[in-house]
Chains A and B, each alone.
Chain A
Amino acid sequence: MSLKRIRQHLISAMTGVKQRISRYLVSPIGKALNSIGQRLSSPIVKRVQPIYQRCVQPITRTLERLHRHLEPLLRRGLQGLQNYLSPPVIEGSYEKTRIAVLVNTVLVVLVANAAVLMVLAPFIFPKPAYFILLFLIIAIMRHSAVFIMRRGYVLIASFILATVLWLGATFLVYISDGLNGPHILTYITVVLIAGLLVGGRIGIIFAILSMALSLGISYLNVHRLLPSTPLGVQTPLSIWFILAANLVVVAIFQYQALESLNRALKRANRLAQEATEANDYKSKLLARVSHELRSPLGAILGITEMLHYGALGETSPEQHDATQRVLNNTRYLQRLVADLLDQSRMEAGQITVEESEFSPAKIVQQVHSLLLSKAQEKKLTLEFDIDSNLPSTLIGDPDRTEQILFNLASNAIKFTEKGGIVIKAYLPNQDKSEWALQVTDTGIGIPPEDQKRIFEAFWQVDDSPARKYGGVGLGLAIVQQLVHLMKGHITLKSEVDHGSTFTVFLPLSEKP
C-alpha cells in the first residue's frame, strides 16, 4: 500500500534530479560559456567552447540514456519488491488469507527490523557479524513461510512462526539478563501474535510457557548458573529499539485485528439485512401470488358450478361426473391457496384474533356438517360429542376457532382409511380456566420422531412419508400458530397404525 507511494516518490525524485542537473548545471554553464564566447570572442574561449560542448553533450546524453535505462529498472525493481513483500492470497478462504496476511506482516516487520539492526549493529553491539546472520535467517524464514502458505498450509506456517518467535524471544531473554533485561517485553508481543495467529488456546499455552521459562532463566541468572551473555551490557539505544519493535508489531496486530473484526461485522450485517429482505420479499410474493390466484380460481369454480347445477342447461350423467371432478379439484386448490394466504399473513403478523361471543357447540356442529360428506365419501364415521358442562356462550374468535377445528378434522379424514373420527368439545379440568377441542381418528398415526415436525410449515412437502395424501403441509402449521395467537396450546397423542388425537386447549372466558 505505502510501498506503491514510495515507488512513485522515488521515480519522480529521480526524474527531478535529472531535470535539475540539466537545468541548473549543464545548461547554465553552456549558456554562460556561449555568451562569454560571443562577447569576448577571445581565442581561448573560442578554443574552449567547442571542447566544452564536446564534453557536455556526451554528459547530457549519458544522463538521459542512464535515466532511460534506470527508470524501468527501478520501476521493475520496486514492483518486484512490492510483489515479493505482498502476502499470499489463499483462494476461497477468507480466514486463511487473513492469517497469511498477519504472518507475512510479522515477518516483513522482522526482516525490516533485522535490516536496520544489521546496519546499526557495528555502532551499537560488540559483535555485529551476528546481525548479518540474524538478518539472513529471518529473510529465509519469511521466504519459506510464504512458500508454505502459497501451498495452502497457512496454519502450519503460523504455528511454526509462533514457535520460532517464542524461541527467539527466549534466546533474547537468555542473552539479556532474564527478568532484568528489556527483552522480557518481547514475550508479550510473541504471546499476542501466537494467540492471534493460531488461536486463543495456543496463545494461552505460549503465555504459560513464557512465564515459566523467563522465571527459570532469571533464577539461573540470579544464581549465576548461566554462562556470560554474549550481548553483554544493554545500551539505552538497544533497549529503545526492542521496545519500539515490540510496540510497532503490537500496533500493527491491533490494527489488523480491528480491521478484520470490522469487515466481519459489516459482512454479518449485510447478510442479516439480505436475509430479512429475502424473507419479506418471500412473504410479499406469497401473499401476492395467492391473492392473484384467487380471482381466476373463483371464476373457474363459479362457472363449473353453473355447468354442474344446470344453470346452462341439462347435463348428461357423464358430464355431471366430469364437472364434479373439476369442482373437487378446484375446491382443493382453493383450500391450498387459502392456506398459503393465511400462512403468509401470519408471517407478516397481519392475522389478529377478535373477541366476540360465540357458541362452541355451534362451531362443532358446523364443522361436522361441512365435513360429513367428505367422511362419507371415504366410508368413515364422523361423530361429535359436546360436554354438557361446557358454557353455551364463550368469548373468543369464532372464525379462527372454526378454522382450527376444520383443519384438524379434515386432516383426520385425510389420514384415515378405516374407522372414523370423533370431535369433542369439553372442559378438561374443574377450575373452568380453559376449554378443549379434541379430534380423534383411527388413521395411520404419526411416528414419535415426526410428532414435533408436523407443526412446521411446508414439512409435508419435502419429506413426509404421508406425501401421497396431498396438501402442502400448512394445515397444522396454521393451526398451531392460531392456537398460540389465542394464547392456547395444542397436544398430540399418536401411535403408528393406531390413530392420532389432537387436543387444543383454549383459555375460557365467559360472558360477564
Chain B
Amino acid sequence: MEEKAPTPKNFAFVIEDDEDQAYVFDSALRMAGFDAETITDGTTAQKRIAEEVPQIIILDLHLPGIRGDQLLQQIRSDDRLENTQVIVTTADAALAESLEDEAALVLLKPVSFTQLSTLAARFRPPQEDSGQP
C-alpha cells in the first residue's frame, strides 16, 4: 500500500488511539469483508488519508496529534474521498449529535462488535460481494 498503486477495493481505515478498541473495530471490519489498517494517532492518519482512498473510515474523535473533528473536516473537503463513508465513534453524546450531518454514521461508544460489523457490511460495494454471510 506504500507505493502509489490504486487502493484495493474493500479497504478501510480504523483511526482509534485505544489499541483494544482498534483491535475490535479492525476485527469487525474484517468480518464484514474489509481489509483494514489501524492508525493510532491523528498526524499519521492525516498522512495516510492523503495517500489512500478507503471505502470506510472508522474515526475516533479523541485522538493524539490532530483532533478527530479536524480530520473529519479535511476528509469532507477532499474530493477524492467523496464516496468514502466515515463512521465516527465517540463517547460524547453532545459531540455525536453535532456531527450527525457530516458523517455517514455516528456511533456512541461503547460500539458493539456485531453492530459495527453489520453496519460496515452495508457499505460494502455490491459488486464486490465475496461470499460473506
Are A302 and B112 touching (Cβ within 8 A)? yes
| Interface pairs (27), CB distance under 8 Å | A294-B109, A294-B110, A295-B20, A295-B91, A295-B110, A297-B110, A298-B24, A298-B109, A298-B111, A299-B20, A301-B112, A301-B113, A302-B20, A302-B23, A302-B24, A302-B25, A302-B112, A303-B20, A303-B113, A305-B24, A305-B113, A306-B27, A306-B28, A306-B113, A311-B31, A350-B94, A354-B97
User: For B31, what are the chain A residues with a Cβ–Cβ distance below 8 Å?
Assistant: 309, 311
Are B114 and A298 touching (Cβ within 8 A)? no
Question: CB < 8 Å: which of A311, A312, A334, A354 contacts B110?
Answer: A334
Q: Does A317 contact B (CB under 8 A)?
A: no
Q: Does A512 contact B (CB under 8 A)?
A: no
**How far, in angstroms, from A313 to B94 measured CA to CA in the complex?**
38
Residues of A at the B interface (CB closer than 8 Å) are 291, 294-299, 301-303, 305-306, 309, 311-312, 334, 350, 354
User: For A298, what are the chain B residues with a Cβ–Cβ distance below 8 Å?
Assistant: 21, 24, 109-111
Cβ distance A297 to chain B, nearest Cβ, rounded Å? 6
Are B21 and A291 touching (Cβ within 8 A)? no
Cβ distance B62 to chain A, nearest Cβ, rounded Å? 10
User: For B110, what are the chain A residues with a Cβ–Cβ distance below 8 Å?
Assistant: 294-295, 297-298, 301-302, 334
Q: What 12 additional pairs, Cβ within 8 angstroms, besides A294-B110, A305-B114?
A: A294-B109, A295-B18, A295-B21, A297-B110, A298-B109, A302-B21, A302-B24, A302-B112, A303-B23, A303-B24, A306-B28, A309-B113
Interface of A is mostly: helix
Tally B residues with Cβ within 8 Å of A: 19
User: For A303, what are the chain B residues with a Cβ–Cβ distance below 8 Å?
Assistant: 20, 23-24, 113
Cβ distance B13 to chain A, nearest Cβ, rounded Å? 18
User: For B112, what are the chain A residues with a Cβ–Cβ distance below 8 Å?
Assistant: 301-302, 305
Are A309 and B114 touching (Cβ within 8 A)? yes
Query: In this complex, what residue of B is CB-closest to A330?
Result: B110
Q: Which 10 A-B pairs have the closest CB atoms?
A: A302-B24, A298-B110, A299-B20, A305-B113, A302-B113, A311-B31, A306-B27, A311-B27, A294-B91, A306-B113
For window 85-106 of B, CB contacts with A under 8 Å fall at 91, 94, 97
User: For B23, what are the chain A residues with a Cβ–Cβ distance below 8 Å?
Assistant: 299, 302-303
For window 1-30 of B, CB contacts with A under 8 Å fall at 18, 20-21, 23-25, 27-28, 30
User: For A302, what are the chain B residues with a Cβ–Cβ distance below 8 Å?
Assistant: 20-21, 23-25, 27-28, 110-113
Are A291 and B91 touching (Cβ within 8 A)? yes
**How far, in angstroms, from A200 to B86 measured CA to CA in the complex?**
74
Query: In this complex, what residue of A is CB-closest to B20?
Result: A299
**How far, in angstroms, from A334 to B115 measured CA to CA in the complex?**
16
**How far, in angstroms, from A303 to B28 measured CA to CA in the complex?**
10
User: For B109, what are the chain A residues with a Cβ–Cβ distance below 8 Å?
Assistant: 294-295, 298
User: For B18, what are the chain A residues with a Cβ–Cβ distance below 8 Å?
Assistant: 295, 299
**How far, in angstroms, from A297 to B94 measured CA to CA in the complex?**
21
**How far, in angstroms, from A301 to B30 measured CA to CA in the complex?**
17
**How far, in angstroms, from A309 to B112 measured CA to CA in the complex?**
12
User: For A350, what are the chain B residues with a Cβ–Cβ distance below 8 Å?
Assistant: 94
Cβ distance B112 to chain A, nearest Cβ, rounded Å? 6
User: For A296, what are the chain B residues with a Cβ–Cβ distance below 8 Å?
Assistant: 20
